[in-house]
Amino acid sequence: MAELSRLSRDEQLAFYAGRARLNYSQGRYEAALADSEKAITLDYSAEMSLLGIESLHLAGRHREARSTGSALLSTFREDVDDAKLKAEFFKTMARVHVALGEDRKVAAYCDESLGVNPGQPDVLYLRAVAAMRLKDYETAEANFLMTIEQSDVVPPALWSDLGRLYGSMRKYEEGTRALQKSLETYPYDAGTKRALRDQYVKSKRKKRGK
């Protein structure tokens, strides 16, 4: 692009950063990554670095996203003052580790993100699911309930996750109620139906055993 060479450095930076944001918003993640890297060569930006990590992740390049993000940890922890940007970085890293099945890392990054910005129901949900997979059931329950409290619209899948959690905790009455809520949105979900039948039977047995 010969025309770009005639632009000033600041104009080129604005061009690449703007196009990176546009490509990202339109789901062209490889192109967004390329433009964010060009912007960074002109002038380092935490925003463009984060956009690059998110683009890698959404393009399915999770290990590269993990490596790039890990290299920038100290920068975001110590040098970035924008609380929203910092919280978003830790949330992105949590999602990268969700894709890699690394639940302890997911939990740790969610905690860092929530430490900067507690009002993130989507991060609370990620934290709850990670805790459930780690069999830290009380933490999972607390974070599921905070997600519900803070959400304008509760993610429908949360009710199924919460119901299964209660099953693991042997709280079958609470579990059946949560699973029934899930079926209000997904009435034909076979897995949720099976879990509901199982917990209903266990609830009856538990009552008879008292």
Domain boundary among 109, 133, 154: 154
pLDDT mean over 1-5:
67
pLDDT value of residue 210 = 58
What is the overall mean pLDDT for the chain?
94
Is residue 209 over pLDDT 90? Answer: no
User: 111-131: per-residue pLDDT in tens?
Assistant: 999 999 999 999 999 999 999
pLDDT above 70 covers a percentage of the chain that reads 98
6 and 71 co-located in one domain: yes
> Is 19 in the same domain as 69?
yes
Tell me, yes or no, whether 137 and 164 share the same domain: no
Please provide the DSSP assignment of 79-136 as one string: T---HHHHHHHHHHHHHHHHHTT-HHHHHHHHHHHHHH----HHHHHHHHHHHHHTT-
Range of the domain at 188: 160-210
Tokens 């925003």 belong to residue:
47
- Do residues 68 and 97 share a domain? no
Q: Are residues 5 and 48 in the same domain?
A: yes
Residue 176's pLDDT is 93
End-of-domain residue from the set 80, 98, 128? 80
Q: Are residues 32 and 106 in the same domain?
A: no
Look at the chain and report how many structural domains it folds into. Answer: 3
Residue 202 has a pLDDT of 86
CB 38 within 8 A of CB 16: yes
pTM (predicted TM-score): 0.91
Residue 125, Cβ density class (10 Å: 0-12 exposed, 13-18 middle, ≥19 buried): buried
6 lies in the same domain as 59? yes
Domain boundary among 134, 154, 174: 154
Over residues 48-85, the pLDDT tens digits come to: 999 999 999 999 999 999 999 999 999 999 999 999 99
Question: What does the radius of gyration of the chain's CA atoms come to, in whole angstroms?
Answer: 22
pLDDT of 97: 98
Convert the pLDDT of each residue in 148-184 to its tens digit.
Answer: 999 999 988 999 999 999 999 999 999 999 999 999 9
CB-based burial label for 110 (10 Å; 0-12, 13-18, 19+):
buried
